[in-house]
Each structure stands twice: as structure tokens, then as C-alpha cells.
Amino acid sequence: MSAAREPLRRVVVAGGGQVGVLCAIAIRRALPACEVVVIGLAPEQSAFADRSATALPFTNRLHDRLGIGEDRIIREAGGSHRLVERLIGWGGEGQYETLSYGGASNPAQTTRFAREWGGGKQTGTVSRSPGSLAEVLAEAGRFCVPPGDVSTPLDEVDYALRWNPGAYRNILIAEARSIGVAHVHGDIAAIQPGDDGGIAVLSIAGQGELAADLFVDCSGPGAALLSVLAGYETQDWTAYLPVRRMMIAPPGQPMLALEDRTTLLAEGWLSEFAGRDGLQVALAMPDGLTREAAIRTLQSEPAEEIAISPGCASRPWLGNVVAIGDAAARFEPLGRCNLDLAHRQLDLLLELLPGRDVEPRERAEYNRRAGLMADAMRDTLGMAYAAPGARRVFGDTKRSDALATTLDQFTRRGRLPTREEAPFLSREYVGLLTALGFARGIPPQSRTADPREGEQAQSMFAAKARAALEYAPPYAQWLQAALSPAPRG
């Protein structure tokens, strides 16, 4: 029998943004006897994961595991819920579709009739049945979080959370302090390499030296720790993802909505993000667009202008240094996926946490799976730029072999190849590709389907929709109750 490895004694997390602080919380909870220290480096301007005001449903489950209460985000961080994302204009002028989360959808949208005659809303004048319960609720402005301990008509509705990034980070800092995570403020003045190809000691300006068994680089796109190591290499995604500049408008008026929107225009794609602290609008621009044209599209002088250089670390774990978030992968915030990828990377690290002596096979497996995550995220964004409308705006972009196969199989055979570590479920990808204007092929097995299946499925869905609408109160009413202090008794 082999002896148990000595556990980690100290982990240093470089980066004081929301990614780094949540990473520190996660490691401290996984290893209560391990000292965890955060170096409070400020996030870079293009650190979209660290600056994100939202994530995808995976983060809700990660929060639950780490003791970050959703009710606290709602009360203390301006939290609200997103049920759907509207994609407008990606499949052609006037076309719009609705994307919901999770595997549950209206079965009528996948019947033979829907596939052959079209189930997507192509213009504002063409009606169709909603694609999911989430869409039904979003259009009605009704929702509440199910209690969890009893069955409700909303149990199959998945959702994403929004928040104010500064207030959310404050929640994480308070949680980190409460469980004993230490904090050091100061720039990294020097890095002493270790014998294993990693790092032995960091010198922190004004603070002295800091040694650790494991270093987690959450410092942002510059990858302050990983980038100094021998063997550090990056993959350039500029041929796959065409956006090099973004403009972000000053916050608008507070908006309470169960949807956000991403619209394809001749000037790029425009993101509209509803927040209790203000509507956030951003424009991602193609090459050649003048600043004046961008400002006209944004309808205001920008509060920020951000340069983007997409890519990822070829091996995000070198020696005893692991990169998470923007330090591992950099890309534009299309689909609001940046923080989702960071949290999936963190979840993978928790699964493969080493002892004091790193097992090379653990490191290799992390790099393999993290590489699959990054490639799948790049190709998910690449689907949008492969859409006919996007090609007219951004030009032709490079497609990986995996993405080319996915698009071919979807349009010819109506199926999706299985892909390891993909960020979305197959049904979510079907909705995404349809919303982007790709016509789904007809699977051979569907040709023998009972023609009555659509009517039966629609009847069942209509009953579910009625029950959901009857159960869910107006969202503003529910949120007001959630924000009100509980009566003392």
C-alpha cells in the first residue's frame, strides 16, 4: 500500500479580483488545514472574467458548494436573475431568437413538423410557440426562485445570476476573511524560480518574501506568474475571434428584466445587460469601424475603450503554478461566458488538487481537460462568427476542425457530435445554432415519427406553461419581498 502524500501547507493566489478571491475560498474549504494567502493585485482593464457582472448557471451550483448564498447576492450585491438571452439579427435582418438554459425546452420545437417547417421566430411578425418555460416566464415578467424542498412548476427552469461586481467582490472578501484566508497587498517585485520548473518564492513590495507549495495565477491576461516560467506558451486566437476593440457606455437607468440582449449590427455586436444598478451597453467592433461610427451606435461617449487580444495558455499548469480565468484564456464577453470558464477551471482544480509534491499525471490531466475547455469555448464563440450575418460584418474567420464538423453535422444531419468539456448542453447548442441562423438538418430517424407527436407535445407544454405562470408572481413583486427584512417573531 502506498503512503498518503503530504497535503498542501500553503497556497498563494495572485489576484485580488472576484476570480482570485473565490478561488481562495474554494481551496480553503477543500483544505481547511492549508494556509491560503491572496495577493491583492488589481484586475487589468481587459480582465473580463474578473470584471464580469454575471455568469452562467454552473456558477449557481459552485456558489452553493462554497457557501455563497444566492439570497445574499440578491440582498447585498444588487443581484437579479436572467432566464433567457435574446439574439437579434444573427440569422438575418429582423430575425431574433431566445436562448434559455438547461436541457428542458418545448418538445414541440424538436418535432418533425417544427424541423421541416421552422420553429424559430424569424421576424417580429412571425409567431411561434415559446421554446421553453423560461421564455414563457420572461415574456410575462414573472419568476421566483423555487424553494427547493418541495416540488413546483418552476423546478426545471434554470437561470443565471447578475450582480454588481464591486459589491459581489465585497461579499467574497468577507467570506474569505471569515474562514481564515489571509491577504497581502503589494506588487510582485521579484520571482525566485523553484527546482521543479515552478516558483519557490515571491517577493512582495513592502511585504517581504512569500513561499508556497502551490501558486494560483488569477492575475489577469498578463499571467504575472505563469508567463515567467520556462515552457510558457500561448495559442493565438486572433484568426478565430475577430473582435479587437470594445466600447462600454456609462451605466444607464436601473432596469429589472428577466432577459439580456445581444444584437448584430453593421457596426458590430451590441450587448444590452439589465442591472439593478443600471443598464449596461457595450459594442464589440469589427476592424475598420471609425470611432465616430462606434459612438453613434453606442449613443454616448464611451466610459471605457478596451483592446482585446484573444488567446489562451497552451499549458495553464506549469510546475507548481496553475492559471485560472483571464490568466489562462482571453476572449471577448460574447455570450457572457468569461466567468463561467473561470469557474469551470476552478472546479477542475478542486477535482485534481495535488499534495505538496505535484504528481506529473495530475498536472497533465489538468492541462488536457483545461485545454479541451478552452478549445470548446473558442469554438462556441466561433459559432456566432460563422453565422451568415456575422460573416457580413466581421468577415470570414478560421474554424477549427471540430467546429467545422459540428456545423456540417448539424446542417446536414440535424445532430451534434459529442464534445468533452463543452460549456453548454446539446439542447442549448441546438438553440444557439438555430438562433444564429443555421438551418437544422433532418435526422433520418425523424422521418418515421408519428405526425401527432407535435400536437401531443404542445399540449403537454401548454399545461406546464399555464402552471408555471399561475405559480410565479410578477418578478418585481417577488424581488421586493426578497429584499424586505423578514418579520421578527
Q: What is the pLDDT of residues 306-330, one digit of tens each?
A: 999 999 999 999 999 999 999 999 9
Q: What is the pLDDT of residue 443?
A: 78
Cell 491576461 appears where? 221
CATH of the domain at 268: 3.50.50.60
Q: What is the pLDDT of residue 469?
A: 98
Q: What is the pLDDT of residue 130?
A: 78
- Answer whether residue 110 is part of any domain: no
- Answer whether residue 111 is part of any domain: no
| 3-class SS of residue 222 | coil
Q: What is the pLDDT of residue 204?
A: 97
CA distances from 1 to 4, 170, 353 (A): 9, 46, 21
Residue 270: which pLDDT band, with cuts at 50, 70 and 90? very high
Q: What is the pLDDT of residue 297?
A: 97
Q: What is the pLDDT of residue 446?
A: 65
| 3-class SS of residue 102 | coil
HSE (CB half, 13 Å, CA atoms) of 8?
A: 27
Please name which of 210, 214, 202 lies closest in space to residue 356, comparing C-alpha atoms: 214
Q: Is the pLDDT of residue 27 over 70?
A: yes
Report the C-alpha gap between 446 and 450 in whole angstroms.
Answer: 9
- Answer whether residue 67 is part of any domain: yes
Q: Which structural domain, as residue segments, surrounds residue 374?
A: 10-102+158-436
Q: Is the pLDDT of residue 488 over 60?
A: no
More confident residue, 118 or 205: 205
- Answer whether residue 457 is part of any domain: no
Kindly report the backbone phi and psi dihedral angles of residue 208, in degrees, each rounded to the nearest multiple of 5, phi listed first.
100, -160
- Answer whether residue 470 is part of any domain: no
Q: What pTM, to 2 d.p., does this model score?
A: 0.94
| 3-class SS of residue 124 | coil
- Answer whether residue 277 is part of any domain: yes
> Average pLDDT of the chain?
92
- Answer whether residue 193 is part of any domain: yes
Q: What is the pLDDT of residues 327-353, one digit of tens each?
A: 999 999 999 999 999 999 999 999 999
Give CA torsion, residues 101, 107, 110, 111, to 10 deg: 180
- Answer whether residue 315 is part of any domain: yes
Q: Is the pLDDT of residue 2 over 90?
A: no
Q: Is the pLDDT of residue 484 over 60?
A: yes
Of the given ranges (191-195, 271-275, 396-400, 451-455), which has the lowest mean pLDDT?
451-455
Please check whether residue 160 is in contact with residue 57, taking contact to mean a CB–CB distance below 8 angstroms.
Answer: yes
Mean pLDDT of 367-376: 99
Residue 4: which pLDDT band, with cuts at 50, 70 and 90? confident
Q: What is the pLDDT of residues 424-462, one digit of tens each?
A: 999 999 999 999 999 999 877 666 666 666 678 888 999
Report the C-alpha gap between 91 and 139 in whole angstroms.
Answer: 21
Please check whether residue 97 is in contact with residue 263, taking contact to mean a CB–CB distance below 8 angstroms.
Answer: no
Q: Is the pLDDT of residue 21 over 60?
A: yes
Please name which of 445, 433, 388 lies closest in space to residue 406, comparing C-alpha atoms: 433
Residue 126: which pLDDT band, with cuts at 50, 70 and 90? very low
Q: What is the pLDDT of residues 58-114, one digit of tens each?
A: 999 999 999 999 999 999 999 999 999 999 999 888 888 999 998 665 555 554 444
More confident residue, 50 or 455: 50
Please check whether residue 279 is in contact with residue 255, taking contact to mean a CB–CB distance below 8 angstroms.
Answer: yes
Q: In the chain, how many domains are there?
A: 1
Residue 485: which pLDDT band, with cuts at 50, 70 and 90? confident
CB atoms within 10 A of CB 193: 14
CB atoms within 10 A of CB 176: 22
